[in-house]
C-alpha cells in the first residue's frame, strides 16, 4: 500500500509545460522520419535483400530510440538538437540536388516545376499513417517513462490545468481514430439509406474497447495497481472513453450532415464551455458533489471520465472533418501543397483562438476537456500532420531528383503517362494497398500501423509488468533508459514479426 501511494504521488499534481516545448517535441518526431527515409534511400536504394533484422535495427535506432531520449534525458537541450538536425537535413537535401541524376541539365526553377506536376500513387496517404503511428509510439513511451525519475514531471498529465505531453497523447488518439473513420473516408455513403444499421454496426465495432476497459478495470482493482484517480475517475478508463466517444459521434453523424462535422464540433465545445462557466458543473468535476472530492455514487466517482467525453466528442468530430478534407482525391504534388497551405492556415487560426480562449476564459484542462483543450488538441494535431506531410514532400523531392522511386511508408511516384491514362494507371496500382513485400515488408511504421490496437495493448501490459518487477521511482538514469529501450524494443519486435509474416490480429 505504501508503494502504491508513493507511485500515485509521483505521477500527480503537475501543471504541464509550455506550448513551445510541446511543439518542439513534435518537430523532433518528424525529423526522425526524414533521416530514416534518407538513410534507406541513400544506403539501401531499391534493395530489400538485406536481412529483416537489419531493417528492424535501423528503424528502431532512428525512429524509436531517439524519441525515448527526447522524452527523458534530452529535453533541456532538445531545441538545439532539433535545430542542428534540421540544418543538417537541409544541407543534405541540397547536396542531393547538386548531385542529382535526373534532370541534371535543368535549372532549379524547371526542376521545381516538374516536381509540382509529378503524379502520385493515391492508394495510400503516408503522412496520415505516420501521424497515427507516432501518436501510438510516443504514448507507448510516455505511459511507462512517467514512472521513472528521468521523465520530466512537466511532461506528465496536468492535475487540473496545463499542457503536458501525456495530456495531448490521450486526445490525439481520439483525433487519429476519427481521421480514418468510416465517416471521414465517406464509406457510409453506401449505407446512406440504412443509417440506423450503420450506427448499430459502429456500436458492434467497439466491443473490443469495452472488453479491454473491463479487463483493465478488473485487473487494476484486483492487484491494487497504482492509478491516478483524478484522470478518469474511480472505475472509468481510457478504453471506455474511446468506445463511448465512437458510439456517440457515430449517432450524431448519422443524424447530421457529415460534411458539417466542424460546425457540430465547435457547437458542442462552445455549449459545454458555457455550461462549465454558468453552472456548478466545473465545481462538480473538480471537487465532487460535496465540494470535498469524495467519490460516492457512480457518476460522482467517475465524473472526470464521464463529462470529459463531451470534449472528446468535439475532438472526434473535428477529426472527421479533417479526415474528409485530407482524404479528398488529389493526384499532383501541387494539389497536396495547396492542401497543406489550407491546413497551415487552419492551424494558425486555431492557435489564435487558443490564445484568446486561455486569456479570456480559462486555460487548457484535460481533466474537464474544456474548450481550450479541444482547440489545443485540434491545433496540435493539424500541426503534427502538416509536419509529417512536409517531411513526406521532402523525401518525395529526393526521390524525384535521385530516381529512387520506392521507400517504405512514403509516396510512390507514378510513371509519366498521358493525362487520359492516369486513372487507368492508378487502378493498376491498386495492389499497393496490400503489403508490398518488396517495399513495405520490412517497415516498422507499417508494422505498427497494421496492428495498432495490439501495440497499444502490449504497451499497457508491459507497463504493468515493469512496475511490478522494477522499483521505477528510485531507478538510476542508466537503468531507466535500459528498461525503457528494452520495453519499446519488445513492443516493436512483436508487431514487426507479425507484419513480415503477413498477420493482422483483428477479428471483429
Residue 287: partners with Cβ closer than 8 Å, 6 or more residues away? 293
Instruction: Kindly tell me if the per-residue pLDDT of 417 is higher than 60.
Output: no
Instruction: Kindly tell me if the per-residue pLDDT of 209 is higher than 50.
Output: yes
Nearest-5° Cα angle at 147, 213 to 313? 40
403: left (phi over 0), alpha (psi -120 to 50) or beta: left
- Bigger pLDDT: 260 vs 274: 274
Cα 221 to Cα 3, 5, 226, 306, 341: the distances in Å are: 15, 14, 9, 19, 49
DSSP 317-375: HHHHHHHHHHTS---BHHHHHHHHHHHHHHHHHHHHHHHHHHHHT----TTTT-HHHHH
Cα 153 to Cα 75, 134, 137, 262: the distances in Å are: 11, 21, 19, 34
Q: What is the DSSP letter of 155?
A: G
pLDDT tens per residue, range 175-193 = 999 999 888 887 555 445 5
pLDDT tens per residue, range 13-45 = 788 899 999 999 999 999 999 999 888 887 766
C-alpha cell at 431: 495492389
Please tell me the pTM assigned to this model. 0.90
pLDDT-derived band at 414, boundaries 50, 70, 90? confident
Average model confidence (pLDDT) for the chain? 85
pLDDT average, residue stretch 62-73 = 94
The phi and psi torsions of 430 (rounded to 5 degrees) equal -65, -20
pLDDT average, residue stretch 377-388 = 96
Amino acid at each position: 500500500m505504501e508503494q502504491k501511494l508513493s507511485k500515485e504521488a509521483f505521477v500527480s499534481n503537475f501543471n504541464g509545460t509550455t506550448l513551445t516545448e510541446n511543439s518542439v517535441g513534435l518537430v523532433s518526431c518528424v525529423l526522425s522520419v526524414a533521416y530514416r527515409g534518407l538513410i534507406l534511400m541513400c544506403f539501401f536504394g531499391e534493395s530489400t535483400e538485406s536481412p529483416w533484422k537489419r531493417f528492424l535495427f535501423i528503424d528502431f535506432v532512428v525512429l524509436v530510440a531517439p524519441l525515448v531520449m527526447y522524452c527523458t534525458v534530452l529535453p533541456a537541450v532538445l531545441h538545439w538538437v532539433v535545430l542542428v538536425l534540421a540544418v543538417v537535413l537541409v544541407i543534405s537535401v541540397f547536396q542531393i540536388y547538386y548531385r542529382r541524376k535526373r534532370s541534371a541539365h535543368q535549372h532549379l526553377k524547371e526542376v521545381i516545376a516538374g516536381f509540382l506536376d509529378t503524379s502520385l500513387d493515391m492508394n495510400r496517404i503516408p503522412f496520415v499513417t505516420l501521424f497515427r503511428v507516432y501518436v501510438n509510439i510516443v504514448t507507448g513511451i510516455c505511459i511507462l517513462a512517467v514512472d521513472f525519475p528521468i521523465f520530466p514531471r512537466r511532461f506528465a498529465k496536468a492535475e487540473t490545468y496545463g499542457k503536458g505531453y501525456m495530456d495531448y497523447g490521450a486526445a490525439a488518439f481520439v483525433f487519429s481514430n476519427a481521421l480514418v473513420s468510416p465517416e471521414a473516408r465517406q464509406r457510409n455513403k453506401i449505407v446512406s439509406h440504412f443509417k440506423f444499421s450503420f450506427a448499430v454496426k459502429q456500436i458492434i465495432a467497439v466491443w473490443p474497447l469495452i472488453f479491454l476497459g473491463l479487463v483493465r478495470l478488473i485487473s487494476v482493482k484486483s492487484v491494487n495497481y497504482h492509478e491516478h484517480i483524478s484522470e478518469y475517475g474511480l472505475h472509468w478508463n481510457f478504453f471506455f472513453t474511446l468506445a463511448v466517444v465512437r458510439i456517440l459521434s457515430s449517432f450524431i453523424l448519422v443524424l447530421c450532415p457529415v460534411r458539417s462535422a466542424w460546425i457540430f464540433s465547435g457547437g458542442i465545445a462552445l455549449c459545454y464551455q458555457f455550461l462549465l462557466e454558468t453552472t456548478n458543473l466545473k465545481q462538480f468535476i473538480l471537487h465532487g458533489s460535496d465540494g470535498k472530492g469524495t467519490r460516492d455514487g457512480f457518476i460522482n466517482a467517475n465524473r472526470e471520465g464521464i463529462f470529459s467525453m463531451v470534449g472528446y466528442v468535439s475532438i472526434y468530430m473535428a477529426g472527421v472533418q479533417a479526415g474528409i478534407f485530407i482524404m479528398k482525391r488529389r493526384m499532383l504534388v501541387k494539389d497536396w501543397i495547396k492542401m497543406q497551405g489550407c491546413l497551415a492556415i487552419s492551424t494558425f487560426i486555431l492557435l489564435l483562438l487558443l490564445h484568446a480562449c486561455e486569456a479570456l476564459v480559462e486555460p487548457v484542462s484535460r481533466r474537464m476537456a474544456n474548450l481550450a483543450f479541444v482547440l489545443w488538441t485540434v491545433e496540435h494535431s493539424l500541426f503534427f500532420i502538416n509536419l509529417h506531410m512536409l517531411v513526406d514532400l521532402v523525401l518525395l523531392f529526393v526521390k524525384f531528383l535521385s530516381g529512387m522511386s520506392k521507400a517504405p511508408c512514403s509516396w510512390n511516384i507514378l510513371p509519366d503517362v498521358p493525362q487520359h491514362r492516369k486513372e487507368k494507371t492508378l487502378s493498376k496500382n491498386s495492389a499497393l494497398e496490400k503489403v508490398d513485400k518488396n517495399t513495405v515488408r520490412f517497415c516498422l511504421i507499417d508494422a505498427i500501423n497494421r496492428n495498432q490496437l495490439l501495440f497499444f495493448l502490449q504497451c499497457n501490459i508491459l507497463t504493468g509488468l515493469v512496475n511490478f518487477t522494477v522499483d521505477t521511482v528510485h531507478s538510476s538514469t542508466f537503468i531507466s533508459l535500459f528498461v525503457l529501450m528494452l520495453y519499446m524494443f519488445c513492443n516493436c519486435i512483436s508487431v514487426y514479426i507479425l507484419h513480415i509474416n503477413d498477420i493482422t490480429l483483428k477479428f471483429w
